[in-house]
């Protein structure tokens, strides 16, 4: 290694540019990429609004004021106990779906994905880094929202099994929504992705069974909605955190969405 | 190593009905700087994108550092530094952050700090990319191509839209790369850039190579070169012409302004001055004009704007 400047004939203070090529290890590349994506997200005001402010405000509003009457769910009758699991589901949707779709759509549009394609980071590494970044952000979201919910009197029931089931639902939900988000980002224009990702988020928030328990709805409607990933995530979490066991049907629905959307994304995603 | 850094043979690339690159061949020897010169739409970027592995050739063979950019992409990526013509950077990222990240993707990268200073990115190191000036964005893009210490650097229009100072900074980088043994391929439509920087120039037009050689070869080969001088009005130009080798043309362009057109060499010069001495004429403002690469370029690619 010679770090000294050898280009005195050039007359500028350029470092020695002689070649010493090589890729860093896969795990080091993935960690660096994930850290960069998290930093960019934290710095982005709109993303923070989506991932932190909206879920927190909804949690506080829906649990204290009677803005919407959510009724009971899975034997839980207190407002905060009904709302909190759904807010976790919403947090997953905001990060894994809307946030990821918009960020990736614009990365594609601005040629970032193209440029990274010429770097030593392979595509598998980029996907792993995105997954890692999403999970880091979601962990922070769940910790923050849990703190707020507990302060508001949230009293989850159930054992470690319930907790394990909740984590499994969050992870599978993340996989399903991330696959859907990337499908959108990799096939539509960035502006369309921006609009559509927000619109879908809003529609699922209002009528997708993530916040509003399906028990409140007519059976036929509920049966249809329960096949949506948002409803599977919300209902599954409400069941688990009410101490009513593992929601196998919800896990199956999320797994199906993750596999289906994942396969479609792998087939249709365009990097440029 | 025996293979050239870049070896392109009979490359063809079509987009629908348009043939962007049409039977193009070029070779870049390791450690040299090659300029790919041509008007807009000549196929320069498409050629470079085939080297970068972004595009698959419709036919022909492309070898970069002896490897196939499509099949051996993973092996090539750490060894080739790429500067895209536009974009490629997160709008919200800071120059220092982006460079440090790219450095971490390589096993023995350049130290980031000297690179930031040498490329004048010190003042804007924490400014989001979208708020950088065009020149700052270009210089960051160039730094990104260098930070992994590649063997080969592909620069697509590195000085487009830059002010003269920033252009000189880019030229210094290319000279330094050459000095340090790194192979460079640079596309440009600026003749003076190619003339100053490149060991060899390949001129492309409509996807084909129309000339290939060193800047000196291209500007002198078959050149109708020009000698100008001033002298009293009304010299007998046909007498001078008769003294010169056949085919050399002498004209009085304006009263007292003479032009000798032909292949210039010391003997021709001596003949002109001998003729002047014999006719008691004192020639002044003797000047030799060589063709610039720009002249060659315009002759080869036509003068029509596109």
Q: How far apart are CA A20 and CA B96, in angstroms?
A: 21
Lowest mean pLDDT among A3-7, A243-247, B139-143, B151-155: A3-7
3-state SS record for B251-287: EEEECCEEEEECCCCHHHHHHHHHHHHHCCCCCEEEE
pLDDT value for A5: 39
Higher pLDDT, A140 or B215: A140
The answer to whether the beta carbons of residues A92 and A170 sit under 8 Å apart is: yes
Here the tokens at position A167 are 């984590």
Nearest-by-Cβ selection for B84 from A6, A44, A114: A114
Q: Does residue A52 register a pLDDT over 50? A: yes
Q: Does residue A33 register a pLDDT over 60? A: yes
pLDDT value for B1: 53
Q: pLDDT class for A158, splitting at 50, 70, 90?
A: confident
Cβ of B181 and A18 within 8 Å? Answer: yes
pLDDT value for A4: 40
pLDDT digit string (tens) for B21-53?
999 999 999 999 999 998 888 999 999 999 999
Q: How far apart are CA B272 and CA B231, in angstroms?
A: 12
pLDDT value for A6: 39
Share of chain B above pLDDT 70, in %: 95
Cβ of B105 and A24 within 8 Å? Answer: yes
Cβ of A111 and B86 within 8 Å? Answer: yes
User: Span A163-175, mean pLDDT?
Assistant: 96
Q: How far apart are CA B93 and CA B214, in angstroms?
A: 40
Residues of B in contact with A19 (CB under 8 A): 79, 149-151, 180-182
Q: At what angle do helices A54-64 and A123-151 cross, to 10 degrees?
A: 30
Task: Count chain A–chain B contacts defined by CB atoms under 8 A.
Answer: 139
N residues, chain A: 272
Residues 6+ apart with CB under 8 A from B237: B250, B251, B252, B258
Any CB–CB contact under 8 A between A120 and chain B?
yes
**What's the Cα-to-Cα distance from B192 to each of A10, B32, B37, B182, B196, rounded to whole Å?**
18, 18, 11, 22, 6
Residue B137 per-residue DSSP state: H
Helix (H, G, I), strand (E, B) or coil at B181: coil
How many CA atoms lie less than 13 Å away from B280 in the CB half-sphere? 0
Residue A43's Cβ-count burial label (10 Å; 0-12, 13-18, 19+) is middle
pLDDT value for A70: 66
Q: Does residue A30 register a pLDDT over 90? A: yes
pLDDT digit string (tens) for A89-143?
999 999 999 999 999 999 999 999 999 999 999 999 999 999 999 999 999 999 9
Residues of A in contact with B176 (CB under 8 A): 7, 10, 12, 14, 17
Chain B, residues 119-178, CB within 8 A of chain A, namely 144, 146, 148-151, 169, 172-173, 175-177
Cβ of B118 and A15 within 8 Å? Answer: yes
Residues of B in contact with A33 (CB under 8 A): 101, 105
Any CB–CB contact under 8 A between A119 and chain B?
yes
pLDDT value for B222: 53
The answer to whether the beta carbons of residues B244 and B268 sit under 8 Å apart is: yes
Q: CA of A5, closest CA in chain B: separation in Å?
A: 10
Helix (H, G, I), strand (E, B) or coil at A23: strand
**What's the Cα-to-Cα distance from B104 to each of A267, B63, B203, B236, rounded to whole Å?**
30, 27, 37, 74
pLDDT value for A7: 37
């Amino acid at each position: 290694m010679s770090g000294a400047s050898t280009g005195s004939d050039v007359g500028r203070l350029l470092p020695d540019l002689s070649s010493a090529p090589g890729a860093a290890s896969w795990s080091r590349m993935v960690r660096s990429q994930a850290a960069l994506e998290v930093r960019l997200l934290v710095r982005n005001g709109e993303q923070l609004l989506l991932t932190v402010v909206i879920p927190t405000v909804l949690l506080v509003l829906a649990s204290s004021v009677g803005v919407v009457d959510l009724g009971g769910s899975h034997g839980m009758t207190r407002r905060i106990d009904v709302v909190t699991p759904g807010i976790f589901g919403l947090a997953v949707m905001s990060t894994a779906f809307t946030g990821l779709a918009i960020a990736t759509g614009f990365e594609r549009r601005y040629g970032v994905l193209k440029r990274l394609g010429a770097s030593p980071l392979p595509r598998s590494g980029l996907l792993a880094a995105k997954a890692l970044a999403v999970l880091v952000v979601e962990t922070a979201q769940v910790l923050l929202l849990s703190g707020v919910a507990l302060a508001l009197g949230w009293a989850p029931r159930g054992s470690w099994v319930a907790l394990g089931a909740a984590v499994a639902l969050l992870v599978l939900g993340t996989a399903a929504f991330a696959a859907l988000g990337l499908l959108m980002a990799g096939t539509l224009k960035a502006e369309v992705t921006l609009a559509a990702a927000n619109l879908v988020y809003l529609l699922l928030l209002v009528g997708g069974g993530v916040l509003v328990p399906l028990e409140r709805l007519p059976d036929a409607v509920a049966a249809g909605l329960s096949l949506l990933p948002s409803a599977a995530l919300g209902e599954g979490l409400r069941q688990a955190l009410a101490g009513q066991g593992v929601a196998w049907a919800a896990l199956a629905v999320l797994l199906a969405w993750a596999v289906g959307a994942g396969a479609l994304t792998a087939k249709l995603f365009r990097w440029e | 190593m025996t293979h050239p850094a870049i070896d392109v043979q009979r490359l063809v690339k079509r987009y629908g009905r348009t043939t962007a690159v049409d039977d193009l061949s070029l070779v870049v020897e390791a450690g040299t700087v090659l300029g790919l010169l041509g008007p807009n739409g000549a196929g320069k970027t498409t050629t470079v994108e085939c080297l970068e592995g972004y595009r698959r050739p419709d036919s022909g063979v492309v070898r970069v550092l002896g490897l196939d950019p499509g099949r051996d992409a993973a092996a090539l990526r750490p060894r080739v530094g790429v500067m895209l013509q536009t974009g490629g950077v997160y709008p919200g990222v800071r120059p220092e952050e982006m460079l440090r990240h790219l450095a971490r993707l390589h096993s023995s990268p350049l130290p980031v700090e000297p690179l930031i200073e040498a490329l004048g990115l010190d003042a804007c190191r924490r400014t989001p990319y979208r708020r950088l000036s065009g020149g700052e964005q270009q210089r960051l893009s160039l730094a990104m191509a260098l930070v992994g210490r590649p063997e080969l650097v592909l620069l697509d229009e590195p000085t487009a839209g830059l002010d003269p100072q920033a252009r000189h900074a880019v030229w210094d980088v290319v000279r330094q790369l050459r000095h340090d043994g790194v192979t460079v391929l640079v596309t440009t439509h600026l003749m003076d850039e190619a003339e100053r920087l490149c060991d060899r120039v390949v001129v492309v037009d409509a996807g084909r190579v129309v000339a290939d050689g060193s800047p000196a070869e291209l500007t002198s080969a078959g050149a109708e070169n020009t000698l100008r001088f001033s002298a009293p009005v009304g010299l007998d130009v046909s007498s001078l012409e008769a003294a010169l080798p056949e085919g050399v043309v002498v004209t009085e362009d304006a009263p007292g302004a003479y032009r000798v057109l032909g292949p210039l060499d010391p003997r021709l010069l001596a003949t002109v001055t001998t003729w002047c001495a014999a006719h008691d004429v004192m020639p002044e403002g003797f000047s030799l004009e060589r063709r610039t690469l720009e002249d060659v370029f315009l002759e080869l690619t036509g003068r029509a704007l596109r």
